Structure 1
Amino acid sequence: MRERIRAYLLGVELQERPGFANEIEELQGLAEACHIEVVGIWSQKLDYPHRTHYLGAGKLQEVAEALRAAGEELAVIANDELTPSQIRTLERELDCRVLDRTMLILELFALRARTREAQLQVRIAELQYRLPRLAGLRESLGRQGGGSGLINRGSGETKLELDRRKILAQIDSMQGELEKLVHRRQVQRKQRQKRGVPVVALVGYTNAGKSSLLNALLRAYQPESEKQVMAKDMLFATLETSVRRIELPDRQHFLATDTVGFVSRLPHHLVKAFRSTLEELTEADLLIHVVDYANPEHPEQIEVTQETLRELGAEGIPVIYAYNKADQAGVVYPLIEGEGIYLSAREGKGIEELVAMIRERVLEPYMACDITVPFTEGGIVSYFNEHAQIHETRYEPEGTRLRLSCSPADYERYRERVIVHDADAATID
């Protein structure tokens, strides 16, 4: 059973980094998602965090007195990534467990990871974070009971006495296992690319509604599908990449990819560890940038997502902005404005308009064809029945005659193996 933690939040408000109130609110949300009860917030305006004890000496003394007066064991959580010396000093001066923003995000990822690949990625990121902080984390981790993540590491294999060499050996071993899983997914991705199916990746800030939008697409076009993904109103509900085929009424289709959400100052270790997963979006044909339009901080969240995409090398991919939760934002929807669309994934309103935008950008217009497929090429008939729109089927002495609409790529693929009756196949929308 996980230990219930109560904690103070500590924050340094820097003049050069606006949005401090939003950062603290997000830090509180991260703490609560990790089942940590926030009992108070201590903040201080400084030009920069103190080199050894994060807060100024006077403010640190106030926090120490409040901790002693509480009469119970509390923890403190810093809004920044702490250095080893800052961790050591804070633990000594406050005599309590010390966590930072990075630890909190790593812990939350550890709680949410379900697949082996996600668990390996999170664990590697934890160990890489731990490595330079062994001395600083020694006392804090020594106080902790059993559990998962960095917050509640127990006395087993991850106890602090693991030295640097053992941690490096663990990282090497897990990276080897991870590479095998990544290779398998890369093979699957290359097979999809070979088939020429467009890939549309859903990206955005955590809890913007990416999984809900993917489920809305499935409900609209595969209502009997049992392949809906988990969608919950929580931070980082999705850590695993989910790929779903969206087949439209005319048999055109694309692959929709749900990806891990972003957050401000996402730890470098996590970006690096999840790079293999995030490669899915760097090879997409189109990005759907899902925005929680009801969140007053959505402009800043858009900026964070754009910056993360630039860091991943995905800034050159075409983007549609899906302003989700329009039903909660009090705006007119569904509505298309330029490269953006206001919609509600929860209500399923705006999905058809979004698909029309996707169709325009990544799906080839179908062409009308009149062909006869020899009886010896029965596989071609089966393929077109599955991937094209069949208007008429007749059986003639030469073979199966089809009047159909199909993609130009499929027409070119089979043109030499069938009898073409219309020399000038027409392109249709």
Structure 2
Amino acid sequence: MPNELPPNFGQVLEFPNEDLDVEFKRFLPLNDNVGKAKLAKEICALANHGGGWIVLGREDNGSYPDALPEEITGVDQDQINQIAAAYLQPAPHCTVSTQQPDGTDFGVPVIWVPACGTSPVCGKKNGPNDDRGRTQGVAKGVHYIRKAGPVSAPIESPDEWQDVIRRCVLSDKTSLLGALSTMIEQPRPAPETDDQNVLDADFEHTIERWKEEAQEHPYEVDLTNCFIAYGFQLVDAEPVTTDQLTECLRHRPHDTRSGYVFFDGDHNSPYRPFVIEVADHDGLEVHLNTADIDHRAIWRLSECLSGSEVISYWEDTAWIKSAVENKSSRTWGRGQHIWIAQHIANANNFLGTVKHIADYFNFTGDVRIRVLFSGLNGRILKSTNIRVYYSIDYRAHQNTKQVDFVLNVADLAAETRSSAIASIIQPMNKLTQGPAITADRVVRTLDGN
């Protein structure tokens, strides 16, 4: 099931049968307490399971009746959340949408139940008793999960608790890191001063060279327009030599080398760094912008401890297109998508590299950050994860977005850089009107949740 919001409600109608995260209920009288308590039990189990769907008005075998039962006609989100609040603690906030299945002339209520947070969900009060005095639906103090069948049943063993506890611990970690990120100093707008000349010169030089080489080596998309440029400057840092820069990059810790690595180059390959002067300061450069490389890049790292790197979108590579289309029936057009999780990973690697450079040269001051996204117009938010869907067409209608800010280099530590990452990604993402990218969202994405 999708972990990114908003969920695609039409998706669940494609499931032919019930599953651990999909429950069908043809008849559930929500106008009396028995029906309410039974629904609360299903919500509780799905929340502790990690989220899932409830489709009202659908048979267990996946078929639909000739008409929607009157008892569930007109069910809305407020009604469902009132039931959850009455019977569960903490009460999940469910989302409800009416969807019309193929071959029917009526719509069925579809309920999306989110995963539990830092605490597992349990019964807040008992459902009504039957004629023999047995509790119907949910019971006070009982935690329910989804079990094979599928059924919603109480947790009865340590093994069944394991996944629930792990999910709550991860959620608590996310909340804690999010709280820490709001405590540190937020990125400040970059001042307009002469000190920016080094960053300006390096940034503009790298983009200019990128565009020149993009024309020489055609790509599936127009690289003169479609690229992302990253830049930084350690403010008032003492200059170093290109030999020192080389050693700095060679001593990069392995934990900063996962995924795409910024300012990287094989020193024994044709693409090893060379020295070139820009605006009276020397710097190392690498140009990986030839037709034999699918993902293109040009980077520059100067003796003034400023740097810039221009890369093509990972979303536009043949590798991503092939990976998506080989595992699903979806098509993945190159030059057509924005994959937020990849941009978060890129920003994380970029800031991690900047932190390493600062630490290597014992720099503790402020750092300027600049990122330019180009070629956004018409791109739509998508994910390579076939279980992640967007129910709305989140499309950018502006071609470029640049962000500039200043923060202390200490804020780029792995434990606290989520705010800086959000400050890079959210301004671009805002152009699509997609779900907001917050520090909490960044932490969840980097943790794979």
Task: Report the TM-score range of the alignment, normalised by the length of the smaller protein.
Answer: under 0.3
What is the TM-score normalised by the length of structure 2?
0.22
Higher relative contact order (CA 8 A, sep 6+): 2
Larger helix share, 1 or 2: 1
